[in-house]
């Protein structure tokens, strides 16, 4: 289990470098291995060290960040740091892990890296203050590709998710959102303690459950079945939260 994520910064602006270096220094589970002005300068070192995480600017001389990403092998987790928001859709297609638009706060930065750190399998306990920076958390959100746009979805608004062949239909109190995504990928993005798979075609937000009766879950006006294959794991999760 990794104690720290090794990381590099590639940005051609000295001020942007300094801000990122300061942010990284505040996070106990990040280890900065180096800072570079351009992808060309960093290539050899990245191939040698194979870092876990790369903070990458987009608009740089000689080689821009988006063109550099497909050249990375192996590819680390990438967080784009840019002053321009118009590249978000292309960045999403390149499977970058987050897109931070300058100027971004330390809180926004920390939420991004904490999510990646937790995804690496590290188990954080609330009492371990040496690993967690105390912040007043805003409502968590995810970004999903919906048609030709990337849509922000507050996870607290999600009632349940329904599988529709190659698509997922995300039901919220306000709308239904269709996205070309698998349950496995969505489960990676959502906070595991807040959601549970109950059927091959359904995932539910635990705090939105009104009641459970005869292996059916009532959420708002919807009845959602609990299949035999997910019955044990679902009730085990409920017992663990009680």
Cβ pair 213, 204 in contact under 8 A:
no
DSSP 140: P
Tokens of 2: 């990794």
The encoded tokens of residue 146 equal 């919906």
* Whether the predicted pLDDT of 129 surpasses 50: no
pLDDT at 121: 63
How many angstroms separate the CA atoms of 178 and 176, rounded? 7
pTM, two decimal places: 0.59
Task: Note the pLDDT of residue 133.
Answer: 45
160 vs 87, higher pLDDT = 160
String of DSSP letters for 181-213: --HHHHHHHS-GGGEEEEETTEEEEGGG--EEE
Mean pLDDT across the stretch 85-104?
86
Q: 100-104, 116-120, 180-184: lowest mean pLDDT where?
A: 116-120
Half-sphere exposure at residue 53, Cβ-oriented, CA atoms within 13 angstroms: 25
Average pLDDT rounded to a whole number, residues 6-20: 95
For the chain, the average pLDDT equals 86
Q: What percent of the chain has pLDDT over 90?
A: 54
Q: Give ∠ CA 80-4-22 in degrees, rounded to 5.
A: 55
Residue 208 has pLDDT above 80, yes or no: yes
What are 115-128's pLDDT values in tens digits? Answer: 888 887 644 444 44
58-69 average pLDDT score = 90
- Rounded to the nearest 5°, which phi and psi values hold at 20? -65, -40
pLDDT of 61 higher than 70: yes
Q: What is the pLDDT of residues 152-178, one digit of tens each?
A: 898 999 999 999 888 999 999 889 999
Predicted confidence band of residue 212 (pLDDT cuts 50, 70, 90): very high
Give me the pLDDT at residue 122, please: 42
Band of pLDDT at residue 84, cut at 50, 70 and 90: confident
CB 154 within 8 A of CB 139: yes
For residue 80, the model assigns a pLDDT of 94
Domains in the chain (CATH in brackets) are 5-119 (3.40.50.2300), 147-241 (2.40.50.1020)
């Amino acid at each position: 289990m990794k104690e720290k994520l090794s990381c590099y910064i590639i940005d051609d602006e000295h001020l942007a470098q300094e801000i990122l270096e300061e942010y990284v220094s505040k996070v106990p589970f990040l280890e900065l291995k180096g800072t570079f002005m351009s992808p060309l300068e960093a290539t050899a070192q990245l191939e040698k060290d194979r870092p876990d995480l790369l903070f990458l600017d987009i608009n740089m001389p000689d080689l821009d960040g988006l063109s550099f990403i497909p050249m990375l092998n192996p590819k680390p987790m990438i967080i784009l740091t840019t002053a321009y928001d118009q590249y978000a859709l292309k960045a999403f297609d390149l499977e970058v892990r987050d897109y931070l638009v300058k100027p971004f706060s330390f809180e926004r930065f920390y939420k991004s890296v904490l999510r990646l750190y937790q995804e690496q399998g590290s188990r954080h306990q609330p009492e371990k203050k040496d690993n967690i920076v105390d912040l007043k958390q805003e409502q968590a959100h995810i970004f999903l590709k919906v048609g030709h746009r990337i849509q922000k979805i507050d996870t607290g608004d999600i009632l349940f998710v329904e599988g529709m062949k190659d698509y997922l239909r995300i039901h919220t109190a306000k709308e239904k959102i269709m996205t070309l995504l698998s349950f496995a990928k969505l489960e990676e993005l959502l906070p595991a303690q807040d959601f549970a798979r109950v059927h091959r075609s359904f995932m539910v937000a635990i705090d939105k459950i009104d009641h459970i009766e005869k292996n059916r879950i009532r959420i708002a006006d919807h009845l959602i079945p609990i299949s035999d294959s997910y019955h044990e794991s679902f009730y085990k999760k409920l017992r663990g939260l009680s």
